[in-house]
Structure 1
Amino acid sequence: MKRPLRAIVAAGLLAAGSIVAVILGGNASADTQICDQYGSTTIGGKYVVQNNRWGTTAQQCINVTSTGFSITRQDGVGNTSGAPVSYPSIFVGCHYTNCSPGTNLPVQVKNISSAPGSISYNYVSGAIYDAAYDIWLDPTPKKDGVNQMEIMIWFNRQGSIQPIGSPVGNASIAGRTWEVWRGSNGSNNVISYLAPSAITSMSFDVMAFINDTRSRGAITSDWYLTSIQAGFEPWQGGVGLAVNSFSQSVNTGGTSTPPPSTTPPPQTSSPSPTTPPPGGSGCSVKYTAPSVWNNGFTADVLITNTGSGTINGWTLTYNLPSGQTVTSAWNATVSQSGSAVTARNLSYNGTLSPGASTSFGYQATLSGTYSSPTSFSLNGVACTRA
């Protein structure tokens, strides 16, 4: 699924949203109705609640309580193969210059000691939506516009919708197993953690997800956490969906240490010495592009040792078609010179016994019509296409 930004807003609309917050008194003490497209208010002296109807002209209203909000009207209808119609949510931090009261965000990841959060949702049947807990990060202390990295925790989904990109494995975080997806919506990178079944409430440290994303090479400790949000992305229906309660803090003053994880380590290790794949044509490559949009794509590359001996360290080379440029990668060190791409193993996936496979992926920009590379060589030996 490809979707645009959640809140691409003209300056005039941003001003309109601010006016609504003033009209509402800024801090909601009793139940408050918001129907303005980008209307918002604050609760608890700490959080911002926003209607954020960015993907439709149809009406949407939310009822803001002292601890959360509920959707009371949602007339928009979105294509389930495309973007949702809105993202009503509650957040701490800064979203398009709208910063929550007293927030210490943005703050560098390396300066965060913990980020304890909790959420309680109310779900409904007969609607198509996801319940999301969003974590936004950027290389700069950005308070406006688009952040480069979105971590999206899917607590629930209903209907034929899925995270952006494609599955890249599983992760054990906060005492649960999550399916991990990776991709881009064309404007920012996204790593999503999909729960196998609906979670109605949970208390956890957001840093566990940030550390896992960091271990995948998507961010560094020098990046900034800019906001943390929780709410719903409805495609169709959604009246009655509610965030019953939301609590989120970001504690600084110590260095964050990644907890034990089943995910691969950061992509900083030097590749081990390589040996040619034995047995002549001893390798096969399966190359797929699970997500392609108008100016970019993600690629998955599966390497299989089809020879009779073990490969100790690998280097895969091939040429990308014109107009394709690699921008980021995972599970391999990937470099590009002109059209020539070189992908080298990391410390944990360099050994391939006979019949064994490993995979890596990357995101790239695209100019023109997409096409796949046609030939590959592993350690100087031509591979067959799978």
Structure 2
Amino acid sequence: MPKFLAILGCLTSLMLMLGSTVAQAATWSVTSPSTSSCHEHTLFARWSYEGYTLNNDVWGPCSVPPVAVGPQSFWANSSFDWSVTSDQPDTNGIKSYPHVEYFVNKPVGSLRKLTATISATTPSAGAWESTLDIWADAKQHEIMVWLNYTGTSNGCGNVKPISYNWTAEGCAIPLYSNVSLSGSTWNVYVGTNGKNAVYSFLRTAKTNQTTIDVLEIMNYLKSLNYFDDVVVGEIQYGFEITSSVGGLSFGSKNFAVTAE
């Protein structure tokens, strides 16, 4: 019996060690430093997991003009469980967009269902938006779906959507207001970032948990003749951070894209 117990104990220890190894192997992390150089290799550190890709995406130093950024730490147990702590200065310009992405690569007309499910945690301070970023037609069209954000749905505040039209007070003007899509209402802004068209849907009732009918949004823009049967490329979800002084934390759970 003692010999049996000893063998059992060894097997138990081995199983625990293997379990620990598996858990560690499934965990990825990266920290990018304060920098104004686009050549820092950790800025765009990536990790792939079960068909999804996570990206640190600290793109401020690579923008035109470059924007100096603070440190950012990204941790992921999987594409369904990740978080970021970012310490960005209270200066003009977007610093980063830590995100998860899924590559669809299908024309809008071939899809009968295209949804994205989001469950997030966000801070009460800072300047940021929790947003989907949907790319179509080889990145000629960018559709942003703001779910939670520190600005206002009427285009004012400390974060604002890209827009062709602005008020004298510096607020973006929606081209379409209170549009009913995907079970909510949205103010829709249209503009360009100098490289591609940008369509921003700002949810009038902010949320951290929802399922977005991406296909309905794409068909809405298609009905307005902004594009025809474009190919949907990447669907990204993350946190576009302008400032997060002192280090603010954001998290994503159970993000999933369904494309059928």
**Which whole-Å CA distance do the structure 2 matches of 1:62 and 1:246 have between them?**
16
Instruction: Give the alignment partner of residue 74 of structure 2, picking from 44, 54, 62.
Output: 62
Q: Which runs of 5+ in 1 are unaligned?
A: 1-27, 94-104, 252-386
Tell me how far apart the structure 2 counterparts of residues 77 and 63 of structure 1 sit (CA, whole Å). 24
Which residue of structure 2 aligns with residue 242 of structure 1?
A: 251
Once residues 85 and 77 of structure 1 are traced to their aligned partners in structure 2, the CA distance between those partners, rounded to angstroms, is 10
User: Residue 159 of structure 2 aligns with which residue?
Assistant: 161
Which residues in structure 2 correspond to 1:160-239 (within 5 Å)?
160-165=158-163, 166-170=173-177, 171-221=179-229, 223-237=230-244, 239=248
User: Gapped runs of 5+ residues in structure 2?
Assistant: 1-23, 32-41, 62-68, 152-157, 164-172
Residue 68 of structure 1 deviates from its aligned partner by: 3.1
Residue 106 of structure 1: SS of its match in structure 2? strand
What secondary structure does 1:84 align onto? coil
| Bigger-Rg structure (1/2) | 1
| TM superposition shift of 1:177 | 0.7
Deviation at 1:77, TM superposition (A): 4.2
Contact 2:133–2:142 under 8 Å retained in 1: yes
* Alpha-carbon distance between aligned partners in 1 of 2:88 and 2:115, rounded to the nearest angstrom: 35
* TM-score normalised to structure 2 length: 0.73
Aligned residues: 202
Bigger helix fraction:
2
Contact 1:49/1:68 (CA < 8 Å) preserved in 2?
Answer: no
3-state DSSP class of the match of 1:110? helix
Matched AA of 1:122: T
Q: Alpha carbons of 1:181 and 1:29: their partners in 2 closer, same or farther (altered >3 Å)?
A: farther
Q: Which residue of structure 1 aligns with residue 39 of structure 2?
A: none
Identity %: 27
Q: Which consecutive segments of 4 or more residues in structure 1 shift more than 3 A? A: 28-31, 75-78
Aligned to 1:91: 101
Higher-RCO chain (CA-CA 8 Å, sequence separation at least 6)? 2
Aligned residue among 73, 77, 87 for 1:74: 87
Q: CA deviation at 1:29?
A: 5.0
Q: Deviations over 1:201-245 (max 9, x none)?
A: 112321011111111211101x11111000011111162111122
Deviations 1:275-306 (A, max 9, x none): xxxxxxxxxxxxxxxxxxxxxxxxxxxxxxxx
TM-score (norm 1): 0.50
CA deviations over 1:123-161 (Å, ceiling 9, x no partner): 1112110010111101xxx4xxxx110111000111511
3-state SS of paired residue (1:214): helix
Q: For the residues of structure 2 that align with 1:129 and 1:122, how far apart are their CA atoms?
A: 13
- CA-based RMSD of the aligned residues comes to 1.9
Q: Is the Cα–Cα contact under 8 Å of residues 68 and 90 in structure 1 kept in the other structure?
A: no
Distance in 1 (alpha carbons) for counterparts of 2:108 and 2:25: 33
